[in-house]
Structure 1
Amino acid sequence: MDTFLLDPLAALGRATFALCRTVGNVTLFALAGLSHVVRPPYYGRMFWRAFIEIAWFSLPVVALTALFTGMVLALQSYTGFARFNAQSAIASVVVISLTRELGPVLASLMVAGRIGASFAAEIGTMRVTDQIDALTTLSTDPMKYLVAPRLLAAIIALPLLVLVADILGVMGGWLIGTYKLGFVSAAYLKSTFDYLQAEDVISGLVKASVFGFVIALMGTWCGYNSKGGAQGVGGATTTAVVASSILILALDYVLTEAFFAR
C-alpha cells in the first residue's frame, strides 16, 4: 500500500529532475553558442547560408500569413466595433495588434515550423552519421561551425521578417478597410500613423530577435543531441518545433509584461 502511494511521487520527482537537467543542459548549450558568436574564428559562408535560408526562403510563408492576418483582423474588428459605433478605431487596432503581438508571434511560429525543423533534421543527421565527430577530428569546433552561425543568423533575420510582416499586415487591413468596408484611404492611413508609436514597432522587433534566438537554439540543440538513427532524428525535429512554439508563446507574455506593464 505504501509503495502504491509513493509511486506517483517518485514519478513526479523523476520528471522534475529530468526537466531541471534538460533546462540546465539547454542553458549551458546557449551560453556556449553565444560565446562562440562573439569569438573568432568566424564562418561567414555558414552564416550567409543560414541567413538566406531563414530570411529569404521563409519570406513567402511569412508574407502570406501577415497579409491574411491583417485582412481577417480588419474584418473581425469591424464586426465587433460596429455594435458600438466605433468603426473608426479599426485602423489603430490593426496596426497596434500587428506590430506588438501578431506580427512577431505569427512570423516566429511560421519560421519555427520551417527553420527549427530544418536545423534539427540537418544537424541530427550529421550527429547520427558521425559527421560531427569528423569535424572534431579535423580540428573544427562543431559549436562554432554549426551552432554559432545559425544563432547569429536567426537573431538578425527574424526582425527583418517581422518588419515585412508588419507592413504587409497593415496593408491587408488597409485593403479590406478601403475596398470592402468603405473607409476613405487617406483617413484610414492617417488613423494608422496617428496611433502608431515607435515603441510598438521596437518592442515587436526585440521580440523577434529573442524568438529567433529561441528557434535556432532549440533546432540546433535538439539536432546536436539526437541519437537513435532515423527515428531519433524525427523525434528531435518534432521536439524542436514543439519546444520552440511553446517558448515563443511563453516568452511573448514575459516580454509584453516587461514592455507594457506599468
Structure 2
Amino acid sequence: MADQPQQQQQGERMKAPFPTPPPFYKHFTKDNLTSLRRLRKEAGVSTDRSHTDDGPHPDLDILSLPPELRYLIPPPPPTELTIHTFGFPRSLAAPPPTLTELPGITRLYPSHPAVLLNPQAHLISLARTQLTTFLTLIGNLSQNPAEGWEDETKNIEEVTLNMLDLVNRYRPHQARETLILAMEERVRRMRGKVEEIERLKGRVGEVMAGFQDAGSNGDEGLEGLGADARGRGDDDADDEVGRRKARQRAAWAALDETALGEGG
C-alpha cells in the first residue's frame, strides 16, 4: 500500500509531456526576494549590476543565508575562456577557423564576392548534398557495417564545414542589413513625430486664432459692461473687468507654454 502513491506519481511523470522543473524554483517568491533585498541592504551590498566590468561582484555569503534564500544568489560568471565539448578543450576567445586553415578541406562554393552577399542558393545546394550523402552512408552501413563509412563521413564533414564557413562569412553583411533596417525604422518614427508636431501646431494655431477673436469681441463687451455697471458702482465694474482680463492672460500663457512644449 505504501508503494501505491509512489507508483501513481511515477505514472503521472511518465504522462507529462515535459520534465518537471527543479524543485528549487519554489524558492523564487516575492517574500524571499524581499527578504534578500533587506539582508543586502543591511549588509551594505550594492544591488546595482549595471557596470560592465568583468571582476567578481561582492554579494552575501551563501552559507550564512537560510536555505530558501541561497538559490536566489546567482553563481559568479566563469573566469576561464576555455570550455570542454566532447572531451576536447575549446577556447572562447579564438575566432573560428576558416576553410584555408583546415587541412584536407576543399571549398565547395565559388569564391566570388556576390556569393557572400547572396549565399542562400549555395546553402540550399550544400544542404541537399549533405542529406544525399547521409542517405548514401545509411545505405552503405545497412549492407556492410564494417566498411563503406569512412568516405561518406569525410564528405559529410567537408560539406558541413563549408556550410559553417559560408554562414560565418555572411554574418557581417547580415549585421549591416539589420543596422540599415533599424535606422530606417528610426527615421520613420522620427518623421511620424514631426508630422504629429506639425498637426498639433496647426491645432494650437487654430485655438489661438479663436482666442484672439474672442479677446477682441470681449474687449468690446467689456466697454459695454463698464457703461452698464456704473449704476452698480465703479468698484464692482473694475473688479469684474480685472478678473476677466486675468483669465484671458492666463489662457494666453497656457497656450504659449503648450506651443513651446510641443515645438521642443
Q: Tell me the TM-score range normalised by the shorter chain.
A: under 0.3
Larger radius of gyration: 2
Q: Quick check: which one's helix share is greater?
A: 1
Structure with more contact order per residue of length (Cα contacts < 8 Å, sep ≥ 6): 1
